[in-house]
Chains A and B, each alone.
Chain A
């Protein structure tokens, strides 16, 4: 199946700093990318949806000024956590949907996740 990568796989940062997480579709063009957050022992919650070249659509309760999403190309989306605080510590997972290459239109392909710890 289609492959999505994330970088970094884990990051530790100090409170008040910003962290950027990259999500790449490796063998298909991702028309839409999604960002999810998962707290320990909880389910995945959709944070935002981004389409290439458009502004991201954020879910209710997600601060768009804190979680900056850029989907500049059909293979790359980035999530920047600005002024991170300990409560932002979580497992961030991206997924991508596309119709080219190895991607099936009805599938979302998940990245391996990024574990963020804010100290």
Chain B
């Protein structure tokens, strides 16, 4: 059974600070996804990581993938309030749907 573990599950941080969310998974899949979810909304795709060593950046967010360690990170640089949301990582073994981590509820305070 594929397992995806995210940590931390809850993060409260101040604006301007940096932090990293970790995503460990148990399969050999090299398809790793990061999503953002705002309250009451569906998922917004942030990053798709398809190979070992993949690194993608968009604004203050950067995601990376290490398939050998089965680890992905989502790094937040100089956080701003607008980034407050719940962030999910998910792994795709392609035959089935995505397996999601439990999500990281991020609150960024002024």
Chain A interface (Cβ < 8 Å from any Cβ of B): 1, 34, 36, 42-46, 49, 57, 93, 95, 106-108, 110-113, 115
Contacts and interface: CB of A to CB of B under 8 A. Distances in A.
A112 B43 CA distance: 8
- B-side interface size class: 20 to 34
Interface stretch (B18-26, B64-72, B76-84, B99-107): B99-107
B88 interface: yes
Chain A binding surface SS class: strand
Contacts of B90: 44
Contacts of A43: 88, 100-103
B92 interface: yes
B50 A44 contact: no
B88 A44 contact: yes
A112 B48 contact: no
Contacts of B101: 43
B31 interface: yes
A108 B45 CA distance: 9
Contact of B97 (A46, A106, A112): A46
